Structure 1
Amino acid sequence: MKKDLLIAGWCILLSTWGATGQVTLQHLLTENLVNPLGINVAAPRFSWQLTAAQRNVQQAAWEIKLTAGKTAVWNSGKVNSAQSVQVPYAGNPLQPATKYSWQVRVWDTAGKVTPWSAPATFQTALSSPADWKAQWIIPGFTEESDRPAVLYRKTFTLPKKIRTATAYITAHGLYEAQINGQRVGDAYLTPGWTSYNKRLQYQVYDVTSLLVTGANAMGVTVGNGWYRGYLAWGGNKNSYGSDAGLLVQIAITFTDGSTQNLITDGTWKSSTGPIRYDEIYHGETVDTRAEKSGWTNAGFNDTDWSQTQTSDFSKDVLVTTYNEPVKKHETFKPIKVLTTPNGKTVLDFGQNLVGWVMVKAKGNSGDSIVIKHAEVLDKYGNFYTENLRVAKATATYILDGKEERTLEPHFSWFGFRYIQVEGYPGEINPDNFTAVALYSDMQPTGTFTCSQPLLNQLQHNIQWGQRGNFLDVPTDCPQRDERLGWTGDAQAFSRTASFNFGVNNFFAKWLHDVTADQRADGAVPHVIPNVLGPNSSASTGWADVCTIAPWNMYLAYGDKRILEEQYSSMKAWVGYMQAQSKNDLWQTGFHFGDWLFYRPFDDNDGKAAVTDKYLIAQCFYAHSTQLLINAAKQLGKTEDVTTYGELLQKVKAAFVNEYLTPNGRLVSPTQTAYVLALQFDMLPEALRAQAAARLVQNIKDYRNHLTTGFLGTPYLCHVLSRFGYTDMAYTLLLQETYPSWLYPVKMGATTIWERWDGQKPDSTFQTPGMNSFNHYAYGAIGDWMYRVIAGLDTYEDGPGYKHIKIQPHPGGGLTNAAATLQTYYGTVSSGWSTNGNELTVDVEVPANTTAAIYLPASPESTITESGIALSAQKDLQVATSDDQYVMVKAGSGKYHFVISGAH
């Protein structure tokens, strides 16, 4: 009954939209990408945005037409549907390696039809291993022990004028390609990192403009990368193989319709060049004296190069690229040139970032420039690299004595704010050094600002932690000898990540590797791709990434396919926990627990922060089971809903029997224990309020400080707000002394730290064995800032911000806060500001969505919208009110609320 009334209310609201104004369409996406190349799904999904100046714009129907060249392929006809995001193709099977163009038009609720949109395009990938005519090739020479990067080269002739040319490239290692002296594409660190023995990505490029009629040449450099370089610890290398293989296929169509393929085969040549050494952890050595000038041009003499060998490496593992590649982004100039107390020359770029430094230099032949990288200076101002462990993180450039040139790495990158420069010829000029940020080409989507500068810096640090660590996989740290895809960190941060950047495809790709590396018994490894071995698996809160991340992506983007594709993985993990349990209680196996929680060494009152790891495991067992039920509901798997619903009740009952006293006290009296028990509804409803009170008392006992680690921290403030303690959540957020979110900010941090006290108040450091200054996990507080402070949220019945919840929570002494988010529907925003007893709330709702706006007001408050009394505003419907909020329903548009007498 209540649901029917809500639907009727929305219908009344939306019917008020008049027939004036023009709706237009923009931002067409295929598989969440703009004009992508290399789509390999049977039914690509199309998305578009409606824009209009008027309010309450809603789509009633759509029509898509799709062509290949001038040939009509599919016309959907008019489809009565409000869906404008991820609409699946429903025509005849698409052909491989074919370019398609599509347009859309829509009808609004008043029956008006838009013009056809501007065309969008996509190109399908190779559909099967049989489509690959190319052969894998490997060098035709014996590699040196340091394994310099391998150069591959081929000259070829194109006899006619070229219409189109598409290149398909992958490698065992990292590659950079050139055709006729010009770089192919603007991606770096390709083909990216996947579980190579099961899934190896290839990239697709339009290279039409790089080719010419007549003589051509292609050159590809292959470095070690993740495939055969050092990974993890103990001198581990060659994780996937020891070769530097290359696979290239270029499909060329001439203007007369005839075709020609350029493929890798035994006719290619191989050699080495200036990149004498490259390792992800240790850096790169470039000897410019060893350059082979013009080697990617047709006229180069390669008679002394070795013939390549062909190999039968599998093509069955080849997959097209799902996510945005790594690209260059922001650049930084040094803000200071320092001479440290021990006499070293150090440049400070002002921002801890991930990437490398481009160096302009000219010197004598044999001059060697050595650049070392560090995140911090020690308390004396000296260059500090001990926390990099065995990673050398060094770029070395040997000059050839010729003209000035700009030098940079190719297959290694660094996490740094500072560089130490040795051997630079001449005086250091800051203009000759440029730091470049490298990360996956995620589109920025979210912003958060407020009146508290420290919180604004915290938001900056959260976003830069994500930039630095979302480098094809979600890494735990980008600077030391690790840089692995730790699953616990990723699940903790996944929802925050989805606000700041568009990570739908990023996580979809990585979750395919979660499934690929998941053990047959359902256990999920600690790191993905898994290079630690099959026994490094099944830690609670880490393995649960396979349920948590898909559900968070579904909420953020409304992407049901991610649930479909990950459902078997989700189910297998719950099955693993079920198999490990006795009487529905999971108390076996290794667990990291509440990693890096605050340890109060002087604590003797029984309230120490150590949380029982099996208590945590039982909480996440229940949580993953609940998320599996949620996914089953969305996918129509009714039997699983029933089966796992029954299991969930047993898991929670076992928790109560084992870990809860009759009076409602948990056996681990810690913040994390209470947070997880409350967040995941582990306690009987009648005992939840007292448990929340115990949590608050614990916080007070620690002088209003948190003690949580990686697993408790993401939910701490959410639980406090849920149970009416938003003021305490603000107190924790705004706490400036250790341990707190703002302590690193006060210490000058520009990214999120791995530890609450990575640098101590006396400027000494935590143990160097594990002390990253760029580690996003604790940045998960961002989710509370966006969803609670600014109040920007989404409902499960309309995920992806189709149905929006806007409920700001003024407090904490802030005078204003605002968040904006670029969704698939357009911009949604929520901002508030205070002036005495007057509160202003500004909201933007994108077209083809609806919002429930909760205004912080009492029934006695006076509320206006755009200067009109709320009760007289025809564009809005007042739905409910209580002592805290007045809820109004709104369609699309911009709204300006002023609340007088706000509490």
Structure 2
Amino acid sequence: MKSHESTTAGTRPIVLLASLLLRGLAFAQGPAAPTGLMCELMARPELATITDPTPRFSWIVGSTGRQAAYQILVASDRESLDRSQGDLWDSGKIASAQSTAVAYAGRPLPSEATCFWKVRTWSGDGGPGPFSAAQSFRTGRLDAPYQTARYPLATTAVQPVKVARKAEGHYFIDFGRSAFGTVELTLAGSDAGRKVEVHLGEVPAGDAIDRNPGGSRRYRMMTLTTEQGTRTYRVAITPDKRNTGPQAIKMPESIGEVMPFRYCEIVNSPCEIDASSVRQIAVHYPFDDGASRFTSSSPVLDDVWGLCKYSIKATSFCGVYVDGDRERIPYEGDAYINQLCHYSVDREYTLARYSHEYLITHATWPTEWILHSVLIAWADYLYTGDTDSIAHFYEDLKAKTLLALAREDGLISTQTGLVTRDVLASIHLSGNLRDLVDWPHGNILGLQGGYGETDDFEFKPINTVVNAFHYRALVLMGRMAAAIGKGDDAARFAQAAERALRSFNDKLFDKAKGVYVDGEGSTHSALHANMFPLAFGLVPPEHVRSVADFVKSRGMVCSVYGSQYLLEALYEAGEGDFALKLMTDRSTDRSWPHMIYDVGTTITLEAWDNKYKPNQDWNHAWGAAPANIIPRCLMGVQPIEPGFAKVRIRPQVGDLKTGSLDLPTVRGTIHVDFASEPGRSFVLNVELPGNTEAAVCLPRMGQAEGETLVDGNVVAPTEEGDFVVIPNVPAGRHRFERKP
């Protein structure tokens, strides 16, 4: 890339010297003790059971320098470890910068035992830093089949925000937010045998619960029978026939059945009810509410972030990513959005991996969902730096690229006779593949009058959306093949991707209109036929503007699922202003502000509004795209090397004046904040954890020339489209400023 020609070029050695001095200072001081230890990607491995005989260890480097070496000790008892005796493994000093996914390499671990480990690091030529605090982990049967360890579910007792007395013995209670769980109720002075009604629901009707909310909005009434005296009762939820069926994920017996609710009514209580006597028992996967943070100059955007972040916690109630309460079934497309969101709000990776691996062998029917498995696998590796999962499921992932359905020109179809029993078996699908594009389609589910989320997409055997996913899967599969040392496969996938890309643009792009058509032989161009190629990098540079303009002209004519890719496409095309408007639009019922301020939900909906999907759930994580779009695209923080070894920070902040983000990563928290004065200056503060490096991109602000400062020093950055780039920014705190 051509460097920006400027009289400031001579300052570059000064900046490099300053960076070296910063690094040298960190080395001279020596590293602090590592923190944030993880075993098998778990910060609390003592709560789970590890069956991998060679578990992986990760830690946060305790300095802002670069790790030069590490030493891991693993012991069979705490006393030995406290004496720094690793009777199971003493790695010695290993000259390596690796601080994520370091494989155990000691004596065979004992089965069904508690082990202990700690780590220390070196930076530069100095001595070692202190050892970390010890962490324990429990092993199970180490000859068991491969399985990702995961936590047991957690519960949180939530106090009500409102208790209203409606009549004698009749109370209305608002817990502030919906959650999956039940109610715990303390009743005093009761006679035995009294029948107390407990009503739970998602939808209010004034100071009452809507007892006929329609669709899949939840309401249920249970009766508890009191015992003599003062007792605390946990209400047993009546099971729902559909979401406890054969395909549904079942709740563990230790938790019991749950339902989503925000509101409670108690009828025929023997005593006064106040905020101290009733609790919502919320069930969720372990979640660190303080791991992430986002604030901005837009209160609406902050509310959208809060809605979407909480949705990820609340919908984790099954211990597997599921589609909502109506079905409680995992789906690959849902899981991918859930995964990206979860990575953006918590330093937690096991639930995403477990869900992904479940779906490898429990595939679902949409063609694009099969291809999503490859996208999920890549995100798992990119965010963790751990190849365990992709190595184990490599052959399955190869099949899920759907190369078996390719014509000679590289394009795939589910309607050309190539979907054989062997193909279906290779992708673990019982049933047939069907192209989805978006959901729901029109004139189903009571959607008479043409409502649907496909923008009148014309389905053809060669489907533009499906082939955009196929291309993306080939690209990512090639990268994963290379990561685990399968160079020949990597080359083959790269060649297949190039062939598919050429045919895609030769046969599906309408040169006269400057947009993509819906499929081979179609003359119709839907939003989806253009936003997916834009999001996945299929659009040649000379056509990005025409495709992006078309995408903007259509607006939010896609579902909440499709919004993930619409927003990604806009940010990829440099249309951050328009993307921000879509995320904060209060004038339409196709937005997150509508969910918050008009519908009143506290968990993202399955659809934009009940009218767009009459049977929708009010608790669906696939509607939470801003939880990942805000950190990844608006604030612009994305890993570009596995395990966040290197990160790109490229904010596209629209008309926001300020913004601040704490993003959890496997290497530690990345902090980014900005202050924007359009036409005058853009200031970006970045704090990178140790052992991390960044490429920082600042807006050019419409100027071919301009001044860029790093930590107060003028530099000559490179140019990259509408951005100027400062590469190889070391760990630590840095201030960047761009002026016209």
Aligned match of 2:500 = 651
Cα distance change on mapping 1:671 and 1:579 into 2, 3 Å: closer
Correspondent of 2:35 among 19, 26, 32: 26
Correspondent of 2:177 among 345, 348, 351: 351
Instruction: Supply the distance in 2 between the matched residues of 1:635 and 1:425 (Cα, whole angstroms).
Output: 65
Correspondent of 1:114 among 129, 148, 160: 129
Aligned match of 2:70 = 62
Are residues 1:799 and 2:642 paired?
yes
Are residues 1:399 and 2:399 paired?
no
Q: Quick check: 2:120–2:131 contact (8 Å CA) kept in 1?
A: yes
| SS in structure 2 at match of 1:819 | strand
Are residues 1:41 and 2:55 paired?
no
Alignment of 1:71-82 (within 5 A): 72-82=87-97
Correspondent of 2:690 among 830, 847, 859: 847
Instruction: Supply the distance in 2 between the matched residues of 1:832 and 1:545 (Cα, whole angstroms).
Output: 34
Instruction: Supply the distance in 2 between the matched residues of 1:653 and 1:888 (Cα, whole angstroms).
Output: 32
Q: Which blocks of at least 5 consecutive residues in structure 1 are unaligned? A: 130-316, 518-523, 526-536, 700-705, 759-764, 872-876
Correspondent of 2:457 among 599, 606, 610: 610
Q: Quick check: 1:511–1:566 contact (8 Å CA) kept in 2?
A: no
Cα distance change on mapping 1:66 and 1:570 into 2, 3 Å: same
Q: Quick check: 1:475–1:485 contact (8 Å CA) kept in 2?
A: yes
Per the TM alignment, residue 39 of structure 1 is displaced from its structure 2 partner at its CA by 1.7
Q: Name the TM-score, length of structure 1 as normaliser.
A: 0.67
Correspondent of 1:890 among 723, 729, 732: 729
Which residue identity lines up with residue 739 of structure 1 in the other structure?
Answer: R
Aligned match of 1:828 = 670
Cα distance change on mapping 1:602 and 1:104 into 2, 3 Å: same
Q: Greater share of strand residues, 1 or 2?
A: 1
Instruction: State the aligned residue count.
Output: 660
Per the TM alignment, residue 879 of structure 1 is displaced from its structure 2 partner at its CA by 5.7
Are residues 1:718 and 2:568 paired?
yes
Q: Name the TM-score, length of structure 2 as normaliser.
A: 0.81
Q: Deviation digits for residues 503-547 of structure 1, max 9, x if unmatched? A: 411122222322333xxxxxx22xxxxxxxxxxx3x123223321
Q: Deviation digits for residues 829-870 of structure 1, max 9, x if unmatched? A: 11112357343321101111111222335575455555x334
Per the TM alignment, residue 330 of structure 1 is displaced from its structure 2 partner at its CA by 5.8
Alignment of 1:255-266 (within 5 A): none
Q: Quick check: 2:213–2:219 contact (8 Å CA) kept in 1?
A: no
Per the TM alignment, residue 423 of structure 1 is displaced from its structure 2 partner at its CA by 2.9
| SS in structure 1 at match of 2:57 | strand
Instruction: Supply the distance in 1 between the matched residues of 2:607 and 2:547 (Cα, whole angstroms).
Output: 27
Are residues 1:515 and 2:524 paired?
no
Aligned match of 1:869 = 713
Aligned match of 1:542 = 369
Instruction: Supply the distance in 2 between the matched residues of 1:639 and 1:32 (Cα, whole angstroms).
Output: 30
Q: Deviation digits for residues 541-587 of structure 1, max 9, x if unmatched? A: 32233212111122222222222123222112224752799974314
Q: Quick check: 1:346–1:383 contact (8 Å CA) kept in 2?
A: no
Correspondent of 2:438 among 594, 604, 607: 594
| SS in structure 1 at match of 2:95 | coil
Per the TM alignment, residue 119 of structure 1 is displaced from its structure 2 partner at its CA by 2.5
Correspondent of 1:383 among 199, 203, 210: 210
Aligned match of 1:100 = 115
Are residues 1:783 and 2:639 paired?
no
Alignment of 1:696-775 (within 5 A): 696-699=552-555, 706-736=556-586, 737-747=588-598, 748-758=600-610, 768=614, 770-775=615-620
User: With CA pairs under 8 Å and 6+ residues apart, which has the higher RCO, 1 or 2?
Assistant: 2
Per the TM alignment, residue 443 of structure 1 is displaced from its structure 2 partner at its CA by 3.6
Aligned match of 1:474 = 321
Cα distance change on mapping 1:598 and 1:337 into 2, 3 Å: farther
Are residues 1:625 and 2:464 paired?
no
Per the TM alignment, residue 810 of structure 1 is displaced from its structure 2 partner at its CA by 2.8
Q: Deviation digits for residues 622-662 of structure 1, max 9, x if unmatched? A: 22222222211212212222322333344345544654334
Cα distance change on mapping 1:651 and 1:394 into 2, 3 Å: farther
Q: Quick check: 2:347–2:666 contact (8 Å CA) kept in 1?
A: no
Rg larger for: 1
Instruction: Supply the distance in 2 between the matched residues of 1:817 and 1:596 (Cα, whole angstroms).
Output: 35
Q: Deviation digits for residues 768-825 of structure 1, max 9, x if unmatched? A: 4x22122121211332211222222211xx222211211222323x211121112222
Aligned match of 1:568 = 395
Instruction: Supply the distance in 2 between the matched residues of 1:391 and 1:710 (Cα, whole angstroms).
Output: 20
Instruction: Supply the distance in 1 between the matched residues of 2:121 and 2:209 (Cα, whole angstroms).
Output: 62
Cα distance change on mapping 1:403 and 1:514 into 2, 3 Å: same
Instruction: Supply the distance in 1 between the matched residues of 2:391 and 2:315 (Cα, whole angstroms).
Output: 27
Q: Quick check: 2:337–2:621 contact (8 Å CA) kept in 1?
A: no
Instruction: Supply the distance in 1 between the matched residues of 2:16 and 2:157 (Cα, whole angstroms).
Output: 44
Q: Quick check: 1:458–1:741 contact (8 Å CA) kept in 2?
A: yes
Q: Quick check: 1:721–1:729 contact (8 Å CA) kept in 2?
A: yes
Alignment of 1:75-474 (within 5 A): 75-128=90-143, 322-329=149-156, 331-337=158-164, 339=166, 345-362=171-188, 363-378=190-205, 383-387=210-214, 389=216, 393-409=220-236, 410-444=255-289, 445-471=291-317, 472-474=319-321
Q: Quick check: 1:880–1:887 contact (8 Å CA) kept in 2?
A: no
Per the TM alignment, residue 393 of structure 1 is displaced from its structure 2 partner at its CA by 4.0
Moved more, 357-366 or 26-35: 26-35
| SS in structure 2 at match of 1:794 | strand
Instruction: Supply the distance in 2 between the matched residues of 1:20 and 1:391 (Cα, whole angstroms).
Output: 61
Cα distance change on mapping 1:793 and 1:11 into 2, 3 Å: farther
| SS in structure 1 at match of 2:478 | helix
Cα distance change on mapping 1:109 and 1:128 into 2, 3 Å: closer
Instruction: Supply the distance in 1 between the matched residues of 2:114 and 2:66 (Cα, whole angstroms).
Output: 31
Per the TM alignment, residue 880 of structure 1 is displaced from its structure 2 partner at its CA by 5.6
Instruction: Supply the distance in 1 between the matched residues of 2:66 and 2:505 (Cα, whole angstroms).
Output: 47
Per the TM alignment, residue 884 of structure 1 is displaced from its structure 2 partner at its CA by 3.6
Which residue identity lines up with residue 589 of structure 2 in the other structure?
Answer: Y
Instruction: Supply the distance in 1 between the matched residues of 2:134 and 2:314 (Cα, whole angstroms).
Output: 35
| SS in structure 1 at match of 2:585 | coil
Instruction: Supply the distance in 2 between the matched residues of 1:577 and 1:373 (Cα, whole angstroms).
Output: 49
Cα RMSD for the two superposed structures: 3.4
Per the TM alignment, residue 382 of structure 1 is displaced from its structure 2 partner at its CA by 5.2
Aligned match of 2:240 = none
Instruction: Supply the distance in 2 between the matched residues of 1:431 and 1:483 (Cα, whole angstroms).
Output: 32
Q: Deviation digits for residues 739-780 of structure 1, max 9, x if unmatched? A: 22322122133221111123xxxxxx6664x22122121211
Per the TM alignment, residue 35 of structure 1 is displaced from its structure 2 partner at its CA by 4.5
Q: Quick check: 1:596–1:710 contact (8 Å CA) kept in 2?
A: no
| SS in structure 1 at match of 2:491 | helix
Q: Deviation digits for residues 674-717 of structure 1, max 9, x if unmatched? A: 10122234445544432222222333xxxxxx111255321212
Instruction: Supply the distance in 1 between the matched residues of 2:459 and 2:157 (Cα, whole angstroms).
Output: 43
The share of aligned pairs that are identical, in percent, is 22
Per the TM alignment, residue 326 of structure 1 is displaced from its structure 2 partner at its CA by 0.8
Instruction: Supply the distance in 1 between the matched residues of 2:442 and 2:208 (Cα, whole angstroms).
Output: 27
Q: Quick check: 2:662–2:672 contact (8 Å CA) kept in 1?
A: yes
Aligned match of 2:243 = none
Cα distance change on mapping 1:126 and 1:451 into 2, 3 Å: same
Instruction: Supply the distance in 2 between the matched residues of 1:549 and 1:414 (Cα, whole angstroms).
Output: 28
Q: Which blocks of at least 5 consecutive residues in structure 2 are unaligned? A: 3-11, 81-85, 237-254, 416-432, 519-524
Instruction: Supply the distance in 2 between the matched residues of 1:30 and 1:576 (Cα, whole angstroms).
Output: 36
Instruction: Supply the distance in 2 between the matched residues of 1:788 and 1:799 (Cα, whole angstroms).
Output: 18
Per the TM alignment, residue 462 of structure 1 is displaced from its structure 2 partner at its CA by 0.6
Per the TM alignment, residue 388 of structure 1 is displaced from its structure 2 partner at its CA by 6.1
